[in-house]
Amino acid sequence: MRFFLKTTIFLGRGSLSNISKLISENERVIVFSSKSMEKLGFLKEVINNIENAGGVYETIVGVPPEPTIENVEEILPKVREFKPDTFIAIGGGSVIDVAKAVKVFYDVPDLDFDNVAVFSRFQKVNPLPKLKSKFIAIPSTSGAGSEVSAASVIKKGGTKYTIVSPDLCPDYAILDPRLPENMPKEVARNSGLDVLVHAIEAYVSKVATPFSDAYALRAAKIIFEYLEKSVEGDSEAREMVHYAATMAGIAFLNGRLGLVHAMSHKAAWIGPHGLINAILLPYVMEFNVKKAPERYDSLARELGLKDVEELYLKIVDLNERLGVPRLSDLVDEDEFMERLPEMARKAYEDPLVAFNPVEPSVEEIKEIYLKAFRGE
């Protein structure tokens, strides 16, 4: 067993100013920012800190949510021309993941996406060569955990591909609770529910350790206690959920994820990542519990609940209170049915299935998708 964390984490209100300590004279810094971070003045704060430290900067503003390989390819030439020493990404998981992917192809120019991006556990991928540039991640959502994770998740043809390497873990993460205060309700909900899925999947994973459990448990506890208040806009709750997102990131960096993520990555064409995960969670849990109830039971008891049934009901109740829809509310039935066999087959092949407590068949995955579609 092993527990790993590469990232140094700064946290607290105003912690964004730590950037000036991390940049030296004449350091070349490329800053990836989401539109909202520019609009709200946080990009300007990042730039001021780089300038105060004597660094030189260039910005890339407006990375779209759920980014694609085309987005990465479009940005690369600008980054290659600027020749940065350091990457800063300020935004949601989407911005951080694009910056991570661009860093891979900037640091190692001859790499081909298809040779390093994983979509199947039966596919042979080459390990990434050593990466060199420094990376500072500043999450503005409270969800993905990309600020500590070893992954960059990029869409190609409606499916998520993952580039994974310990070298992709950011060197620094800055958790400044002023940033997520501005999240729209839906983003707060979707990304916050992703945190719960990260915590639960990391906890029940085949490779969980007592150390990853500690982070997973604390994150799950915070979500159950604070997510509703956070979605309502309560600033203390937003701060707690912001930290929980990174805790869950540390949990899954080590404990990995499972069937919910395997299935949501192949259903990425339907809607936002966190929301699809939240929809699938109770159905995957129902499936896993039948054959492997022990870890769910242990999780329930650690959370102060009676048993796994109570945990299941708590999850369903949270989804209901937060207005999580059924898949059928998001996608047309004909299109869903047409793509279902391929989705189920690809989800079966997903590398994360290897960590799920139960090995599912393609048929069983199809059933789970169908139940989630119909809301049964």
Find which of ligand NAP, Fe ion, none residue 254 binds, CB within 5 to 8 Å per kind.
none
DSSP annotation string for 179-236: TGGG--HHHHHHHHHHHHHHHHHHHHSTT--HHHHHHHHHHHHHHHHHHHHHHHT-HH
- Residue span 120-149 as binding mask against Fe ion, x where in contact by CB under 5 A, dash where not: ------------------------------
Report the residue from 10, 30, 32, 34 that binds ligand NAP according to the rule CB under 6 A. Answer: 34
Which range in 53-61, 180-188, 211-219, 307-315 contacts ligand NAP by CB under 6 A?
180-188
Cβ nearer to ligand NAP, comparing 273 with 346: 273
Does 71 help bind ligand NAP (rule: CB under 6 A)? no
Q: Which is nearer to Fe ion, 194 or 213 (CB)?
A: 194
Among the listed residues 194, 201, 213, 350, the single contact to Fe ion using CB under 5 A: 194
Question: What distance in Å separates the CA atoms of residue 191 and residue 306, rounded to the nearest whole number?
Answer: 27
255 binds, among ligand NAP, Fe ion, none (CB under 5 to 8 A by kind): none
Of 181-240, binders to ligand NAP (CB under 6 A) are: 182-184, 187, 190-191, 194
| Residue selected from 71, 152, 205, 230 as contacting ligand NAP according to rule CB under 6 A | 152
C-alpha 231/C-alpha 227 separation (Å) is 6
Interaction of residue 144 with ligand NAP, rule CB under 6 A = yes
Q: Closest approach of Cβ 270 to ligand NAP, in Å?
A: 13
CB atoms within 10 A of CB 36: 21
Candidate list 84, 92, 170, 351; residue touching ligand NAP; CB under 6 A:
92
Tell me: does residue 176 bind Fe ion (CB under 5 A).
no
Show the 3-state SS of 42-62: HHHHHHHHHHHCCCEEEEEEC
Instruction: Enumerate helices (H) and strands (E) in the chain, giving the number of each.
Output: 15, 8
Q: Is 358 helix (H, G, I), strand (E, B) or coil?
A: coil
**CB 30 → ligand NAP: shortest distance, Å?**
17
Long-range contacts of 185-189 (CB under 8 A, 24+ apart): 185/231, 185/232, 185/233, 187/92, 187/141, 188/141, 188/142, 188/230, 188/231, 188/233, 188/238, 188/241, 189/227, 189/231, 189/274, 189/275, 189/322, 189/323, 189/324
- Give the HSE-up count for residue 113: Cα atoms under 13 Å, Cβ half-sphere: 20
Token representation of residue 115: 């040779």
Q: Which one of 118-126, 155-163, 187-195, 204-212 is the stretch in contact with Fe ion (CB under 5 A)?
A: 187-195
Residue 289 is a binding residue for ligand NAP (CB under 6 A): no
CA 353 to CA 357: how far, in whole Å?
A: 9
Q: What share of the chain is helix, strand, coil (3-state, %, to 5)?
A: 55, 10, 30
Give residue number: closest CB to ligand NAP.
92
State the number of binding residues for ligand NAP (CB under 6 A).
33
> Least separation, in Å, of the C-beta of 147 and ligand NAP?
9
* CB nearer ligand NAP, residue 36 or residue 49: 36
**Residue 273 touching ligand NAP (CB under 6 A):** yes
The CB density around residue 14, as the number of other CB atoms within 10 Å, is 10
Residue 295 in 3-state DSSP?
Answer: helix
Question: Hey, what amino acid is at 133?
Answer: S
209 binds, among ligand NAP, Fe ion, none (CB under 5 to 8 A by kind): none
Nearest residue (CB) to ligand NAP, 34 versus 356: 34
339 binds, among ligand NAP, Fe ion, none (CB under 5 to 8 A by kind): none
Amino acid in the structure at residue 201: E
Number of residues located near Fe ion, criterion CB under 5 A? 1
Site residues (CB under 6 A) for ligand NAP?
Answer: 34-36, 65-66, 91-95, 97, 140-141, 143-146, 149, 151-153, 160, 179-180, 182-184, 187, 190-191, 194, 273-274
Site residues (CB under 5 A) for Fe ion?
Answer: 194
